[in-house]
């Protein structure tokens, strides 16, 4: 019986070493978000219908009318979007215009989300097929872009805006003026 155990020891040691070699990079890898290749480039042409009845939609033309914009890509089904809602309200209180792009959302779900978490948006475009989101170089929700008055993308924030991110977003907006 002892001989059989001795046979398995080298195999177990070799398997452990191999597992360590292949698993170690998972712990040491640096996670870097992939920024849009469009930073410094014009917003792609788009014209989104309203996300809610009675509200304006969003078009690339409206982002080229002289004033900077913050464009937030969000969805009612997105949990991190709920986390960033207070920060978007704070940006609105500072007088920063926020336009929304609602991704794969239904008007009734969107209305419930805004009623529960606040509505900082001047306009909300409905991106039901994610076409505009993808054209902007966005991989997920939430993401926020600062766009200057000529429609040039100046800054991208990937993920939920936290209180610690507010200074960066405000500075990017001010620099886009």
Q: Rg for the chain (alpha carbons), in Å?
A: 23
d(CA 57, CA 59): 7
Query: What would the pLDDT profile of 98-127 be if each residue is shown by its tens digit?
Result: 999 999 999 999 999 999 999 999 999 999
d(CA 155, CA 168): 9
Look up residue 81 and give its two tokens: 């979007």
Query: What would the pLDDT profile of 79-92 be if each residue is shown by its tens digit?
Result: 999 999 999 999 99
Query: What would the pLDDT profile of 41-58 be if each residue is shown by its tens digit?
Result: 999 999 999 999 999 999
Which residues, other chains included, contact 54 with Cβ-Cβ below 8 Å and sequence gap of 6+?
Answer: none
Write out the E strands in 64-122.
Answer: 69-74, 98-103
- For the chain, domains (ranges, CATH) are 47-175 (3.40.30.10)
pTM of the model: 0.81
Contact 48, 121 (CB under 8 A): no
């Amino acid at each position: 019986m002892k001989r059989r155990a001795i046979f398995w020891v080298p195999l177990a040691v070799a398997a452990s070493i191999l597992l360590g070699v292949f698993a170690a990079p998972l712990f040491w890898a640096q996670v870097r978000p992939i920024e849009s290749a469009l930073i410094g480039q014009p917003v792609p042409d788009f014209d989104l219908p309203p996300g809610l009845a009675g509200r304006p939609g969003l078009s690339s033309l409206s982002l080229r009318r002289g004033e900077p914009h913050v464009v937030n890509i969000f969805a009612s089904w997105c949990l991190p979007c709920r986390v960033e809602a207070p920060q978007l309200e704070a940006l609105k209180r500072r007088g920063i215009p926020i336009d929304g792009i609602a991704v794969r959302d239904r008007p009734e779900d969107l209305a419930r989300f805004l009623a529960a978490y606040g509505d900082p948006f001047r306009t909300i475009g409905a991106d039901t097929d994610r076409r505009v989101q993808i054209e902007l170089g966005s991989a997920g929700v939430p993401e926020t872009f600062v766009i200057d008055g000529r429609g040039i993308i100046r800054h991208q924030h990937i993920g939920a805006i936290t209180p610690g991110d507010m200074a960066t977003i405000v500075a990017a907006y001010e620099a886009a003026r």
